[in-house]
């Protein structure tokens, strides 16, 4: 870190002009300048209003956005700045500097830096206009999703069919329901509640909570809040079982908690997660399907660990195939991956619901193969 110190001083310590020089080439040239020039947007077709960009940046403080994307400040520096592991490259000792007062970041490892827009570009691997769109969606959807999740949680204990369904899926402990913030969408009452709280109908439609015709999108579904989304599991066999709101499914479920364990159990469904968590395995995380997005894969690789892949033992072998494919990719990145074999036709949830206990599951983990 010694060699980096002078750059650090210039970078975020002194005036604007130095910063502009250092960030030149990492982001749009006029960023950080006081001139009122518009950005020249995508191929010059449409200019992006500078004021709108400044407003967007003001409404999404960099630190909050980073933390919502699992970044942890590891070490405080002078003038309120923080160092932590870089979320943009495989970082082993903190090289990612954040200045919350200036809303800027810089990584001494990969040499990239800029503002929250630049971060969104790099993090989601998208171009500038898409990064703006993602940030706008994030800004708009966050409060209303939070409110919807709160409403659904209140509904859970008012609807016996929801509690009965959870019971049947083995979800029984109040601590687990609290930990996963599980709710219930009866249907037909969310829109009224949210509009009464001054959320506009177009905003509800944009978040996907309300359909184009104005009905609640989730009807008779158990709801689990995710990062920037809500997963809904249908109680009714007539509806598609799994649903997400439009937009990304986010990172690995509850990764912040699982991340610190040297051994992590990865499952594909939230009811699998619930069963394991309730059985005392708190080093569990969930990819919400067998296909990991780039972000989830990066998370699994963000430090040395062993990953126990515990996908469903489907009779057609699709879960096992996905697990084998993932274990190869993990090994290429230096992560130890072990495949857990469940009894035929079982997933971790049905294993426990069918009478399996923690000792038996522990034995399956011990028998997991490379």
Q: Which two tokens stand for residue 142?
A: 């966050």
Q: How far apart are CA 88 and CA 85, in angstroms?
A: 9
Say how far apart CA 164 and CA 151 lie, in whole Å.
19
Identify the helix (H) or strand (E) that includes residue 340. none
Residue 7 vs 41, nearer CB to Zn ion: 7
**Which of 167, 365, 162 is closest to 275 using CA atoms?**
167
Q: Which is nearer to Zn ion, 199 or 295 (CB)?
A: 295
109 forms part of the interface with Zn ion (CB under 5 A): yes
Q: Least Å distance between CB 10 and Zn ion?
A: 18
Interface stretch with Zn ion, choices 58-66, 84-92, 205-213, 227-235 (CB under 5 A): 84-92
Please tell me the distance from the alpha carbon of residue 358 to that of residue 3, in angstroms, as a whole number: 50
> In this chain, which stretch among 22-30, 65-73, 86-94, 249-257 interacts with Zn ion, using CB under 5 A?
86-94
**The only residue of 18, 20, 42, 89 in contact with Zn ion, by rule CB under 5 A:** 89
Nearer CB in complex with Zn ion: 107/223: 107
Q: Which residue number, 107 or 204, has a Cβ lying nearer to Zn ion?
A: 107
If residue 207 lies in a helix (H) or strand (E), which one and from where to where?
helix 201-207
Among 4, 56, 110, 248, binds Zn ion (CB under 5 A): 110
Task: Give me the least distance between CB of 120 and Zn ion, in Å please.
Answer: 15
The closest of 288, 244, 295 to 141, measured between CA atoms, is: 244
**Cα dihedral 191, 194, 197, 199 in deg (nearest 10):** -90
Per the CB < 8 A criterion, the answer to whether 250 and 227 are in contact is: yes
| d(C-alpha 328, C-alpha 335), whole Å | 9
Q: Judged by CB under 5 A, does residue 86 bind Zn ion?
A: yes
State in angstroms the smallest separation of the CB of 33 from Zn ion: 25
Cβ proximity to Zn ion, 86 vs 104, nearer residue:
86
Helices 116-124 & 50-59 angle (0-180, nearest 10)? 80
Cβ-based nearer residue to Zn ion, 119 or 253: 119
Query: Whose Cβ is closer to Zn ion: residue 106's or residue 224's?
Result: 106
Among 31, 66, 107, 330, binds Zn ion (CB under 5 A): 107
Using CB under 5 A as the binding rule, whether residue 129 contacts Zn ion is answered as no
Q: How far is the CB of 112 from Zn ion (least distance, A)?
A: 6
- Determine, following the binding rule CB under 5 A, whether residue 13 of this chain makes contact with Zn ion: no
Q: Of the two residues 98 and 156, which places its CB atom closer to Zn ion in the complex?
A: 98
Pick 73 or 225: Cβ nearer Zn ion: 73
Query: Least separation, in Å, of the C-beta of 85 and Zn ion?
Result: 9
Binding residues for Zn ion restricted to 196-235, rule: CB under 5 A: none
CA distance 227 to 146: 10
Please identify which residue in the block is written with the tokens 């009965």.
164
Shortest distance, position 370 Cβ to Zn ion, whole Å: 30
The nearer residue to Zn ion, 90 or 140, going by C-beta atoms, is 90
- Choices 32-40, 79-87, 148-156, 189-197 (CB under 5 A): range interacting with Zn ion: 79-87
How far apart, in whole angstroms, are the C-alpha atoms of residue 72 and residue 195?
Answer: 35
Contact of 95 with 108, CB cutoff 8 Å? yes
CA torsion, points 337, 338, 344, 347, in degrees to nearest 10? Answer: -60
Number of residues that bind Zn ion (CB under 5 A): 6
Token digits of residue 34? 């006081």
Report how far residue 51's alpha carbon sits from residue 38's, in angstroms, rounded to the nearest whole number.
8
Using DSSP bridges, classify how beta strands 336-339 and 306-309 pair: parallel, antiparallel or unpaired. Answer: parallel
Q: Whole-number minimum distance, CB 87 to Zn ion, in Å?
A: 8
Show the site string, 245-264: x = touches Zn ion by CB under 5 A, - = not.
--------------------
Binding test (CB under 5 A) with Zn ion, winner from 83, 88, 171, 322: 88
Rounded to 5 degrees, φ, ψ at 258 are -75, -30
For the chain, the C-alpha Rg in angstroms (whole number) is: 23
Binding part of the chain for Zn ion, among 105-113, 141-149, 194-202, 337-345 by CB under 5 A, reads 105-113
Question: Interface with Zn ion by CB under 5 A: which residues?
Answer: 86, 88-89, 107, 109-110
């Amino acid at each position: 870190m010694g060699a980096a110190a002078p750059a650090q001083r210039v970078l975020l310590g002194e005036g604007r002009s130095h910063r502009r020089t250092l960030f030149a080439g990492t982001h749009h040239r006029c960023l950080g300048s006081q001139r009122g020039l518009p950005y020249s947007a995508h191929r010059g077709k449409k200019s992006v209003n500078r004021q709108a960009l400044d407003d967007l940046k003001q409404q999404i403080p960099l630190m909050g956005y980073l933390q919502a994307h699992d970044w942890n400040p590891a070490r405080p520096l002078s003038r309120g700045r923080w160092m932590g592991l870089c979320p943009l490259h495989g970082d082993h000792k903190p090289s990612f500097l954040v200045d919350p007062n200036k809303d800027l970041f810089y990584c001494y490892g990969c040499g990239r830096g800029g503002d929250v827009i630049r971060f969104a570009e790099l993090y989601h691997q998208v171009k500038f206009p898409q990064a703006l769109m993602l940030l706008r969606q994030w800004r708009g959807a966050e409060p209303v999703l939070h409110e919807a999740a709160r409403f659904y949680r209140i509904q859970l204990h008012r609807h016996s069919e929801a509690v009965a369904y959870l019971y049947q899926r083995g979800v029984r402990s109040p601590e687990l329901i609290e930990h996963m913030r599980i709710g219930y969408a009866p249907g037909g009452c969310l829109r009224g509640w949210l509009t009464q709280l001054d959320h506009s109908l177009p905003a509800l439609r944009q978040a996907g909570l309300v359909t184009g015709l104005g009905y609640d999108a989730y009807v008779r579904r158990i709801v689990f809040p995710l990062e920037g989304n809500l997963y809904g599991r249908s109680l009714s066999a007539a509806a598609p079982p799994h649903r997400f709101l439009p937009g990304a499914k986010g990172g690995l479920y509850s990764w912040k908690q699982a991340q610190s364990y040297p051994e992590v159990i990865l499952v594909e469904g939230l009811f699998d997660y619930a069963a394991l968590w309730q059985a005392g395995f708190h080093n569990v995380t969930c990819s919400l399907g067998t296909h990991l997005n780039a972000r989830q894969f990066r998370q699994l690789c963000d430090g040395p660990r062993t990953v126990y892949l515990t996908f469903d033992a489907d009779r057609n072998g699709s879960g096992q195939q996905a697990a084998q494919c993932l274990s190869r990719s993990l090994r290429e990145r230096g992560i130890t991956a072990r495949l857990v074999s469940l009894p035929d036709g079982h997933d971790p949830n049905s294993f426990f619901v069918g009478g399996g206990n923690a000792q038996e599951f522990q034995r399956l983990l011990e028998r997991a193969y490379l």
